[in-house]
Structure formats: C-alpha cells, structure tokens
Amino acid sequence: MKKHFTAIIVTILLVSGALGVLGSVYASPGRTDANGGHTCRTNCAKYGLKDGEYHYHNADGSITKTPPKTPPKATEPSETKPSAPLKADKLKPPANGKLSVYFLNVGQGDATYIHTANGDDILIDGGKNEAGPIVVDYLKQLGVKDIEVLISTHPDEDHVGGLDTVLQKLVVKSVYAPKVSHTTDTFKDFLLAVKNEGLTIKEAKAGVAIPLKGVTAKFAGPTKAYGDDLNDWSAVLHLAFGKTSFLFTGDAEAKSEADMIAAKATLKADVLKVGHHGSNTSTSAAFLKAVAPKYAVISVGAGNTYGHPKKTILDRLASAKVTTYRTDTKGTVMAVSDGTKLTFGTVK
Ligand SMILES: [Zn+2]
Ligand SMILES: [Zn+2]
C-alpha cells in the first residue's frame, strides 16, 4: 500500500472547527470525483502538475493526466474482503407517536437510524464508504427529510465512511463526534462534508446531553481520552423513551466499558447495540452485567474476515438470557417502543 502523498498529520480541533488545514488533502490519492480524478490544489509542482490541473492517481501510486486503466486501489485497509454489492433492505416506515430504531443492514459496519415519537431523526454512524448511498436510500425510503442529530461514534471507516454522502444528500442540523482525529482520507472527507454544511462538530463525551424533546439522550462515553485506541474513543449514547431504553456503544472496548462503569454512567438499558460487531474485545462480563439488557443487536457483515461476532460473546449473551438479533442473518433489525413495550421486527 502506497503512502499518502501528503504526509502532513492533520490535527483537527473538532470543537473549534478549525478546518482550514484540510486544503492539504487535495493532492492525495483516493479523493476522486465521479470521473475518477480530481483537481490539484496544493504542492502541485511537486507532482509535476500545474495548480488546479485535473489528474488521476493510479493504483501503483503514479499520477497521470489520463484515466488509469484499472480503478485506483483504496488507500486504507477496509474491515472486510470484497463481497457482493450491498443493497438496501425494504423497510417498514416508522410508527407515529412511537420510538423506532433501525439497526440498518450495511454489511460490516454500523449505521443506526432513530425516529423519535416527536418526529426527530437521529443517525448514528453511516457504515463503510460504499454503504453511504445505501444509507441515503434507507433514509429516503423511510421519508427522512432532515436529520436533527448525526453522531459519528469514532473515525473508523466502517462507521464514518458513509457519513460524508449522508451530509451531502440530506439536510443535517447538528453533528456530534468525540474529540479525536484520524489521518485517513475517509475521515477527512467526513470533516470536509461537515464544514461544507456550515456545521461545527459538537463534542460527544460522557455527560453531554442532546437537547431533544420526548426522549432523554445522554452520552455515557467516552469518559476520557484514549490516544490511538480509536474504538475506545467511541461515543456511547444512552437513549430513554418512557420506561424503555437503549445503549448504542459504537466499537467501545473493555477499557472504555470499565471506565464507564467506574464513572457511574447510566448504562442500564433494555436494548444493547453490542460493541465492535460482537468482537471479544467488547461486551465484557462486567459491562453486560451493568447494562443488563433484555435484547441485543449485533451489526455485522456476513463472511467478515474478523470472525465477528465471536462465539464467546454470543455464548455470554445467551447465558445472560439476552435475545440477540444479527444484521448478517436477519438483515435490518427494527425495534419499536411505545414507551412501555418493545417489539422487534427483522427483514429476513
Ligand atoms: Zn467497527
Ligand atoms: Zn472501530
């Protein structure tokens, strides 16, 4: 895998929205338009280009002014081997006056859409890059006009990948993300899309409440900074509607789980979005005990190279008598709450 042409480490102050530094990403491979190429903006002479000259990045790292014979390779590792193209499931529309939660089938990755009884729309993550159009398709199918709250749990590609497409295609009112940055083009695309919407990212961290009517939405994590451990940086959202509650964990792993328990965050929930696609690095016994869910949902792609979900975790959920749904076997999983009772529906 060739290194990026711009070896500039972009440190982005998410909250202050100091996004001007992103100009440097234009000469790097992977950022292409519909024609497969793009315009040079910075350091052009270094690459034998004039400022503003249109060019293509080839798979071998060379730059040409004519399109490459083979499409450029991805510049960052993906969590899955290439699989059959994804297609959006046909979904039932959200129920009026109820809380509807859709654990969207986006293959390997996470994307969760929530429609509140008050009519607000929340999207947590957008799957991989290639899932972006599918997430948009799902949202349009469900009649979503605008998204009041968009949450990027952490900068990994299988969560943030599709969010730039969502930001381009739908009106987004607010964006929450933990204060961690990443050097991949995918993450820069997300930050740029946020900037293009004229938005500033609000920090997602333990204790921050999202102002929404009819529900209580509060971040349980991250409780601290986790350096390079992107998964532990995951924004963890606790959402309560009436007597029912959900915990959306992103890819938070055992370290963050232990810290949330120690911080006495509200974790107890009827429904647990299982951390990190059912990897055995998440859903520690102590965390499962603290959440004490009746239901669990694992968002995971069929045939993923990680072996997610792990048998240890499935066994742990089963022995705690948790009814578990998986997007790889059931397609999109929908949970509806009337404030007292929860009902589940699946596509397959
Ligand atoms: Zn993930
Ligand atoms: Zn991750």
In a domain, 307, yes or no: yes
- Weakest mean pLDDT among 23-32, 201-210, 224-233, 307-316: 23-32
Is 83 inside a domain boundary?
no
What pairs with residue 100 in β-bridges? 115, 336
Ligand nearest to the CA of 158: 1
Quick one: 114 and 201 in the same domain?
Answer: yes
Residue 206: give the domain boundaries.
99-346
Same domain, 106 and 224: yes
Q: Is the pLDDT of residue 74 over 80?
A: no
Reported as type and span, the H/E element at residue 165 is helix 163-169
E strand or H helix at 169: helix 163-169
In a domain, 93, yes or no: no
Question: Do 139 and 51 fall within a single domain?
Answer: no
Ligand closest in space to the Cα of 128: 1
Ligand 1 centre to CA of 110 (Å) is 7
Which CATH number do you get for residue 240? 3.60.15.10
Question: Residue 261 and residue 267: Cα distance in Å, rounded?
Answer: 8
268 domain residue, yes or no: yes
Query: Which ligand is located closest to the Cα atom of residue 155?
Result: 2
In a domain, 92, yes or no: no
Residue 85 covered by a domain: no
What pLDDT is stored for residue 23 in this prediction? Answer: 35
When mean pLDDT is compared across 6-10, 74-78, 104-108, 109-113, the lowest value belongs to 6-10
Contacts of 288 (CB under 8 A, 6+ apart): 272, 316, 317, 320, 322
Q: 188 CA distance to ligand 1 centroid (A)?
A: 18
What are 163-206's pLDDT values in tens digits? 999 999 999 999 999 999 899 999 999 999 999 999 999 999 99
- Residues 132 and 67 reside in one and the same domain: no
Tokens of 320: 């705690």
Tell me the C-alpha to C-alpha distance, in Å, between residue 198 and each of 31, 194, 195, 219: 21, 7, 5, 24
Residues 67 and 103 in one domain: no
276 and 150 within one domain: yes
Which band of pLDDT confidence, cut at 50, 70 and 90, is reported for residue 72? Answer: very low
Assess whether 32 and 159 both reside in one domain: no
Q: What CA–CA distance (Å, rounded) separates 192 from 114?
A: 24
> How many domains in the chain?
2
What sign for the dihedral angle of Cα 32, 33, 37, 43? negative
Query: Across the chain, what does the average pLDDT equal?
Result: 87
At 63, the pLDDT band (50, 70, 90 cuts) reads confident
Q: What is the pLDDT of residues 291-323, one digit of tens each?
A: 999 999 999 999 999 999 999 999 999 999 999
Place of tokens 């100091």: 18
Classify 284 as helix, strand or coil: coil
Does residue 123 sit in the same domain as residue 219? yes
What is the model's pLDDT at position 5? 38
Which residue, 11, 46, 77, sits at the end of a domain? Answer: 77
Final residue of a structural domain among 77, 110, 127: 77
* Residue 282 and residue 137 share a domain: yes
Looking at 77, 109, 125, the residue that finishes a domain is 77
41 CA → ligand 2 middle, Å? 31
Over residues 141-164, mean pLDDT: 97
The stretches of 170-320 forming alpha helices (DSSP H) are 185-196, 254-262, 285-291, 311-319
Tokens describing residue 213: 């009517």
Ligand nearest to the CA of 235: 2
Which tokens belong to 24?
A: 């440097």
